[in-house]
Chains A and B, each alone.
Chain A
């Protein structure tokens, strides 16, 4: 039994899966010699050599796009985009090629590619190191997105993603890298099923739907509200695309009230999609308006004071949940 961090879980799983499957390879910026800017890939170059741990030039389009050809000839590529904020040059390749290739070829080719990318705010990174830009990809057919919130799921979802034959965009939250720890037995191959949300806390009065760093803030807010007799059910989405609609619907049908919480701007965010699904499929069970608590529709600010204001905190979340619960 070892107590390890979120980033340890990622690193360990990469080691284990690359040892297990010789067709896997890593490619990304500064991932080899340097071990990754966050050290998520530390030790992998030494373990698997430069043929399978490829320090790439600053060429995000290549990093994402080359995986399509490599997958076609039998590889299981594990590209890393150094920051989610730098994913836009790879957008074309991910969206138009990688995600659609299985469909386009009528199911001839699978694209077993896992793109890892660090995202999220609260780390003083400013506009190009803080974004939670998952919504850019929400209406891309054929793409899977996962965003682990816990140490266990960091390992479990990464292993599931690597073993999946669908292209998976794996969002790892920078603020969680070293801020959370959990016991993960050595040698236990944790696998978290992709497509299933997790009810992180059960409750009857209002459903909070969130993921990533904000899951932990939401759980704290729920503890606070419990003291006032408000029981919050907290859903950790884990998979962002396709959303685990059944779990969300089941919970909201029970509580009649829903609050979606995420860091990304509200307009066009995942919260909007969830609200729309609830309105379409759960209308007659709703007992209060659906609420979204999100980042602002601005770019992500740099100054600490601004960043603190931008990020939904425990008090913001508690207020939103209380208001909805008491409606």
Chain B
């Protein structure tokens, strides 16, 4: 890897220097420890030498430039190494940091925030945190969907305006303490109706409390706590708890889950599919498939294929809302939720509609593997138009996933389970699976949503029809 020549420390009071003479020019050979460039400051003039030998491939900071400590002055390439244009090379990590296996952002202490362990930078991007379940509650590790939907309701922030029956009245010209104002707001009290006993008739906290006690019926019920977070609960001595601060990634997940809940009008519809044909097909093909293609044949490529076919038929499910516009995507980038140790990731199969079952199988395998190894590029976790999330890996029968914004639909996949069902008046045992489609009711009406989901089921029940799909 090409070596960046860095501006060394120049003393505590010296944050920057001026580049003096370059002792080597681009293309010149450089030996290890050989002087390459001079730096000048008002305190010291110093030669910067090369950590390793090679060729001075590029000068980033010509003589006369002002440079900061740690900045890259130029690049030395070893034999046979390519050094690309200044822009790209500038993004290179310094060798030492690469070796240490640490992402660059960790070099900068984030004040106040407790940095999380080891997430790659992508994790801070929007795509990756779109849906997630409360970690550690379930040992889920495969692609999965979201059992969280009950929770936001329970701790819904009290963002709505107070009920009309009582309003806090705190006149501008009335001197009140923070404690009194807080009580007035919490209990929606009209302070002008309370007689003050404090200096110059000020209404004190005691006055408010006394008033509340004397007139509990007239006082409105206390409002929900202001913050989104559940109020700190009091625990008894026999109720041991462990309190840990949320990691930044967990905070982001929490925020984005709530945001998605708020942004979309979530509705979930459920349908059931008889997987007999797909199961039979897969059983028959899987050994040969693995031999031929080197990846396991799972149900995911079939479901992906079926979903894309249905999306083409119901374009409003492959759309998004931008302002007052509806944007119909005439391309089909399919997100596939993958659980990784660092958190939920949603790599995206770009142009999934152009892929065969084989290619989809390979793409899913590749993205899932690299997601777990944290080797995804940023553009591989962005830009999806619809998402699949598999909660079946650990046995979920039914979930109601949260939409990955700004998409309008997410399909929850579940466990295939042999169940007795009625066929032509007979009870038979069939491998059955429930599918849960969460959709944004702002854009997708109930009927097309149900029809969309039914179409997915039909395609899976007759997989040969998938062959006819492009």
Contact = CB atoms under 8 A, between A and B. Distances in A.
A touches B in complex, CB < 8 A = yes
B182 A287 contact: no
Contact of A284 (B178, B198, B202): B178
Contacts of A285: 178-179, 182, 205
A95 B206 CA distance: 45
Interface string A266-293: 0000000000000000011111100000
Contact of B202 (A205, A256, A286, A327): A327
B199 A256 contact: no
A326 interface: yes
B198 A256 contact: no
Interface string B187-226: 0000000000011001011100000000000000000000
Interface in A114-137: none
B177 interface: yes
Given A326-B199, A327-B198, A327-B199, A284 B182 contact: yes
B199 A287 contact: no
Contacts of A287: 177-180, 204-206
Interface residues of A, number: 10
Contacts of A256: 177, 179, 204-206
Contacts of A326: 198-199
A284 B179 contact: yes
A286 B183 CA distance: 11
Nearest to B177: A287
Nearest to B199: A327
A40 B205 CA distance: 48
Nearest to B226: A284
A286 B178 CA distance: 6
B178 A283 contact: yes
A252 to B, nearest CB: 10
B191 to A, nearest CB: 13
Nearest to B197: A326
Contacts of B199: 326-327
Contacts of A284: 178-179, 181-182
Contacts of B179: 256, 284-287
Interface centre among B179, B204, B205 (most CB of A within 10 A): B179
Contacts of B177: 256, 286-288
A238 B204 CA distance: 31
Contacts of B182: 284-285
Nearest to A326: B199
A193 to B, nearest CB: 17
Contacts of B206: 205, 256, 287
A286 B179 CA distance: 5
Contacts of B178: 283-287
Nearest to B176: A287
A283 B182 CA distance: 10
Contacts of B198: 326-327
A193 B45 CA distance: 57
A287 B203 CA distance: 10
Contacts of A283: 178
Contacts of B180: 287
A283 B178 CA distance: 6
Contacts of A288: 177
A141 B199 CA distance: 42
Nearest to B186: A284
A15 to B, nearest CB: 37
Interface string B368-403: 000000000000000000000000000000000000
Contacts of A327: 198-199, 202, 204
Interface of B: 177-182, 198-199, 202, 204-206
Given A256-B206, A327-B198, 8 more contacts: A256-B177, A284-B182, A285-B178, A285-B179, A287-B177, A287-B180, A287-B205, A327-B199
6 contacts: A256-B204, A286-B178, A287-B178, A287-B179, A287-B206, A327-B204
**4 A-B pairs with the lowest CB-CB distances in the bound complex, closest first:** A287-B205, A284-B182, A287-B179, A287-B177
